[in-house]
Amino acid sequence: MQVVVAGAGISGLTAALALARQGHRVRVVDRDGGVRPADLDGAAGWARRGVSQFHQPHAFLARLHAELAAGLPDVLASLVAHGAAPVDLPDGLRALWCRRSTLEWVLQAAAEAEPGVELRSAAASDVETAGGAVTGVRLADGAVLPADLVVDATGRRGRLSRRWSGDTVDVPTDEVYASRRYRLLPGAEFGPVERGVVSVAEGDGYAVLVFPHDAGTFSVCLTRLPDDHDLARLRELSCFEAATRAVPLAALWTDPARARPVSPVMVMGGLRSTFRVLDDAAPLGLHPLADAVSTSNPHFGRGSALAVAHALRLAEAVAAAPGDARSWRAQVDAWVLGELHAWFEDGCRTDAARAAAWRAARDGRSWTGGPPAAVAGAPLPGWLVMAAAGADPVVGRAVLRHAHLVDPPSALSAVHPRVAAMLAEGWRPGRPLADGPGQPGRPAGPPQAPPREALLAALAAA
């Protein structure tokens, strides 16, 4: 069977490798295609115009590790051999500390070495069809590559399969990111990482995230509302540095005795959560993957894991029914409309609740609507439950499994009563708990992130 994959990112290369290993001829086209950097240092500066988030920090979750271990174990082994650090988590789970550039470099190296995979620098412009099925992909230069299966891995901005899009959800994530990458000094070690692949400090209307990577690198990311103009100066180097000094978590990691910056401040905004599926008129054999179907807030770090999962579900469907394009569509759609959509909805709910809380904090209003409502049984927002992970071990385990896409989204509701009780006892996000008896849930010590007024004062003085 002939396969054309449009897009040589994470999902496209994963699909190409998995399908080629079933004996299919796979051609991968990408407008950013070209010579892979000679080494990982070169990959850190890889120019990927079609992947706006390429150099932003990523979290590589336990779900990603598990999918690679089951579907492409040699790629996982190569990642580790090239410096990606396996991270042992509770319940036998394992995640990775890694830069996106490292993952894509290893995937492309595997594709280049794979018999049956051909990589081509070209832009796909349209899908050729006949009799309700795909027949090929037309390139920008007019050439047509014949295909029995067309994989659209062109990402959230891709148009290849857009004319067959059915019902579409498109909502803002309501977050803007400013991040900077650092490298440890010789002999220095990473700071604490309480969620396996990321450390988080929740502030009043903002959050600070630290992502450990491979090769002694890590990133600090400050997130805010798009319409929080007081915090917009975080894009400025002096203000970003002032903020990292003001937030204890970031100050610990970026201490000049520990690390030095190796990038400018990188800003990413205009992010949207989207979900689009093919309509009934879509030709059989056409399969959009990953961001071409669903995008979510990178705050969750789910994109890479779900991209690999989506690609491998397609490969499994093809392996189960070679030559039966109708069966492929049914099997993949079942996963897309089931698990993928469940995570999409979970992310949208969490985004909306976090944005409401942040706007309340910005405007000086209550951020929860009051703990009594939570105790009375009102649903708790996901971001609030996740913020409680470091304050209670039972909540922490549930949040870890949720954050790493191990349990279904609905499983997190099991700890809602526990978090509601913590709220009633005085706990608030970003505040550690007292250890002593008689003080359950009482805040103790300084907050993990400074109050909004203190952060604004630090920016004003920068």
Does 376 map to a domain?
yes
pLDDT recorded at residue 438: 37
Q: How confident is the model at residue 429 (pLDDT cuts 50, 70, 90)?
A: confident
- Measured CA to CA, the distance from residue 387 to residue 288 in angstroms comes to 34
pLDDT recorded at residue 366: 67
Q: Answer for the pair 267, 178: CB distance below 8 angstroms, yes or no.
A: yes
Report the 10 Å Cβ neighbour count for 337.
12
Q: End of a domain among 268, 285, 316? A: 268
pLDDT recorded at residue 194: 79
Q: How confident is the model at residue 376 (pLDDT cuts 50, 70, 90)?
A: very low
Q: Are residues 343 and 388 in the same domain?
A: no
pLDDT tens per residue across span 137-168: 999 999 999 999 999 999 988 899 999 998 89
Highest mean pLDDT among 190-194, 386-390, 409-413: 409-413
Alpha helices, DSSP H, located in 5-55: 10-20, 40-43
Q: Answer for the pair 380, 420: CB distance below 8 angstroms, yes or no.
A: yes
Q: How confident is the model at residue 42 (pLDDT cuts 50, 70, 90)?
A: confident
pLDDT, mean of residues 185-214: 93
DSSP state, 443?
B
**In total, how many domains does the chain have?**
3
Q: End of a domain among 316, 348, 380? A: 348
- Measured CA to CA, the distance from residue 426 to residue 421 in angstroms comes to 9
Does 362 map to a domain?
no
pLDDT, mean of residues 117-129: 97
Does 80 map to a domain?
yes
Q: Are residues 283 and 263 in the same domain?
A: no
Report the 10 Å Cβ neighbour count for 358.
26
Q: Are residues 78 and 146 in the same domain?
A: yes
Q: Is 436 exposed, middle or buried (0-12, 13-18, 19+ CB in 10 A)?
A: exposed
Cα distances (angstroms) measured from residue 231 to each of 2, 14, 364: 51, 38, 15
* 3-class DSSP assignment, residue 132: coil
pLDDT tens per residue across span 251-267: 999 999 999 999 999 99
pLDDT recorded at residue 373: 46
**Residue 437 belongs to what domain range?**
367-461
Q: How confident is the model at residue 51 (pLDDT cuts 50, 70, 90)?
A: low
pLDDT recorded at residue 427: 83
Q: How confident is the model at residue 33 (pLDDT cuts 50, 70, 90)?
A: confident
Q: Are residues 299 and 216 in the same domain?
A: no
Q: For the chain, what percent of residues have pLDDT higher than 90?
A: 77
pLDDT, mean of residues 442-457: 74
* Dihedral Cα 368, 369, 373, 379, nearest 10 deg: -50
Q: Is the pLDDT of residue 440 over 50?
A: no
Q: Are residues 48 and 155 in the same domain?
A: yes
- Measured CA to CA, the distance from residue 457 to residue 462 in angstroms comes to 9
* 3-class DSSP assignment, residue 25: strand
* 3-class DSSP assignment, residue 101: helix
* Dihedral Cα 109, 114, 118, 123, nearest 10 deg: -40
pLDDT top residue among 448 and 11: 11
First-to-last C-alpha distance (Å) of the chain? 61
pLDDT recorded at residue 370: 47
Q: How confident is the model at residue 53 (pLDDT cuts 50, 70, 90)?
A: low
Q: Which two tokens stand for residue 293?
A: 């179907």
Q: For the chain, what percent of residues have pLDDT higher than 70?
A: 92
Q: Can you give the CATH number for the domain in which 284 is found?
A: 3.50.50.60
**Cα-flanking dihedrals φ and ψ of residue 424, to 5°?**
-65, -30
Beta bridge partners, 5, equal 28, 151
Q: Is the pLDDT of residue 369 over 60?
A: no
In this structure, of 104-113, 158-167, 253-262, 304-313, the range with the lowest mean pLDDT score is 158-167
pTM assigned to the model: 0.93
pLDDT recorded at residue 452: 92
Q: Are residues 6 and 119 in the same domain?
A: yes
The rounded radius of gyration (Å) of the Cα atoms in the chain is 23
Does 429 map to a domain?
yes
pLDDT recorded at residue 43: 77
Q: Are residues 165 and 180 in the same domain?
A: no
pLDDT recorded at residue 365: 82
